[in-house]
Homo-oligomer: A and B are copies of this chain.
Amino acid sequence: MVLLRHLFGDALRRRRQHQGRTLREVAGTARISLGYLSEVERGHKEVSSELLMAICTALDLRMSEVMREVSDELARWEATDSALEPIEATYPLAGDRAATNVAA
Chain A residues at the B interface, C-beta cutoff of 8 Å: 3-6, 31, 46, 48-50, 52-54, 57-58, 60, 62-64, 67-68, 70-72, 74-75, 78, 84, 86-87, 90-91, 93-94
Contacts and interface: CB of A to CB of B under 8 A. Distances in A.
A71 B64 contact: yes
Contacts of A90: 31
Report copies per complex: 2
A104 to B, nearest CB: 16
A48 B49 contact: no
Contact of A46 (B6, B46, B54, B91): B46
A48 B46 contact: yes
B86 A49 contact: no
A94 to B, nearest CB: 6
